Structure 1
């Protein structure tokens, strides 16, 4: 960590003192951190918090991603994944297709199956209950992390029932946890520009509140590096922090850099590596009540995610197996990693690899 005089010269002296004392940062602090030209100084503060919480542990998970369909009614401007029903590249998996994908990886000791897709206009709610049932039947020991708040709202609208009833029925069908996708940036300005058909940021938060109140833990995300301002990023982070104060239901936060290929957002350069690392660090510092921070290697690249472990991140995600959403948008990372590969990357970064499940319960601690 830099000495106190260095932080004073950077205008971060008071923030450094707050961090050392474990006190909460406010919005003005966040603005100062984002404005600081020295990304290493900001990262060092985040690393202090990360080390206080997790020591030298870096988590990973043996998981499999399954996207049941990319057919979607929302048509978000930043999304390269979605297709219309008759458009080239559109797909929809049957229950049998989902099971086949599981069979193809039955040799893997999975602890998590991650299921998301587009907001399909025609699939009945029974289809989604059926998918969960089939996955639980084939992988009874694995946790099911499935369906974003956006999908929950879509199921409720199509079925003519409340989002609470949707959550209760999915939980009965085998849902263990929800991913954090669909949050994007909560700002109404951003949503009106990039995803006007999607539910509002306030509605996303309300669905997560409902999930947390019925005992369903979730993750949370932020898509950055497009047309949002620093102020809108901070508003997003503080809204998550406020809900976490209320419910305690968020397990992990995942900052997602915008992938600029194959979408309708024009004239955006995308984030730089320095911006990605600073955003990671500020997220760790502002979200003092969300225990884990993920360096999602699919969108960061493996090498930058490895560095991000020194900028506040304590989780490297997992094996993935087959990732479509980020790669269809131009992500240049690998499609999958092995346990050995994950452990090597983490260990060479100077951290202790620990396999986890979706609730960050330890499954396996790697030998040095």
Structure 2
């Protein structure tokens, strides 16, 4: 294998193998990867806009029996700190989100042993009855697989019922690394890698848009990282013609603070800024059929995320009005609507507000007014 040959094939949007991806990861320079990935980005998203979104990442419950070794958020059934979010609490969160200019609730939780399909169907219907304009980007493949097991139903049946009750799109949560070797060690209680993909296949059959993710930098090998991308790409390639499938791919490094994975498996977050930029670039190169690549500023910070915009990424994610899971393991970064736009401009791009379908939105009036007020203060 030769780096130049592989990068040339990547520029032609050919599907590189996992082994070829490993070769690039271990041999290509960061500058080469960034250059090729940026050219691909400009082919697939040919403008100077970088998208972002206003939403809120709330949790249905912190009760979970999956026992993931990287999660500090969950509580086992019977713990003093367990909760299930009430409708009144949802109302407060949703109305605050609307006040901030958002229109979407990213709603996830744990594998609660007693919350089955009926619970989520009723919850989604009630939220949509109260707020018809609300977009529900909710649950994720492991939760769908968990509900399907509780109900002894298929993934398709569960997703169909949820979709009819108000589910707008399915996040790519819980992918971690799709290798079952890795999953047995870090998240044994969750669905396996192939079942994760099967849930996404069912979602695409129902024309439910989805996103895809990867949490890396713990105990996986470079080949397992690249195989993860190849398997995601294969599912996207086989989606029905009527479906959009994976709208975006979002990789982020393992956050290790106080996690069992760090204590027992001695896994450390050793991902440097350079390594993260290389993974963003390889995501663009290895996933030519996924249009949007998102930089995870929440886990890597502003400066690294800005560099990713020159390495294949075209999306900056959400301002995250609320986020509890990754933050519990050490993510400390935060953005306001003003701050995320300024960061995009500093990187040489034009910020563009979007919705979950990656359609452009106009800035809400309150944010426009805030920017006008700020500009007036600078002039004064």
Same-fold call, TM cutoff 0.5: yes
Q: Secondary structure at the match of 1:244?
A: helix
Work out whether 1:48 is the aligned partner of 2:39: yes
2:288 equivalent in structure 1: 288
The root-mean-square deviation of aligned C-alpha atoms, in Å, is 2.0
Match of 2:148 among 153, 156, 166: 156
- Alignment deviations for residues 162-213 of structure 1 (CA, whole Å, 9 cap, x no partner): 2222111111111110000111111111111111121110111111101100
Partners of 1:29 and 1:258 lie apart in 2 by: 24
Give structure 2 stretches of 5+ with no counterpart: 376-380
**Offset at residue 309 of structure 1 (A):** 1.0
User: How many pairs were matched up?
Assistant: 357
Taking the aligned partners of 2:129 and 2:31, their CA distance within structure 1 comes to 48
The 3-state SS of whatever aligns with 2:57 is: strand
Match of 1:76 among 56, 68, 71: 68
Note closer, same or farther for the CA distance 1:121–1:22 as it changes in structure 2 (3 Å cut). Answer: closer
CA contact (8 A) 1:68 1:98 kept: no
Residues 1-368 of structure 1: pairs in structure 2 closer than 5 A: 11-36=2-27, 38-54=29-45, 55-247=47-239, 248-266=244-262, 267-270=266-269, 271-334=271-334, 337-364=335-362
Deviation at 1:67, TM superposition (A): 0.9
Q: What residue number does 1:3 align with?
A: none
Q: For 1:281 and 1:201, locate their aligned partners in 2 and report how far apart those are by CA, in whole Å.
A: 23
TM-score in terms of structure 2 length: 0.89
CA offsets 1:63-117 (integer angstroms, 9 cap, x no match) = 1111111110100111122111233543321222212222333312223211011
TM-superposed deviation, 1:300: 2.0
Note the C-alpha offset of 1:279.
0.8
Q: CA distance change for structure 1 residues 300 and 130 in 2, over 3 Å: closer, same or farther?
A: farther
Whether the 8 Å contact between 2:70 and 2:259 is mirrored in structure 1 is yes
Asked if 2 retains the 8 angstrom alpha-carbon contact of 1:99 and 1:134, the reply is no
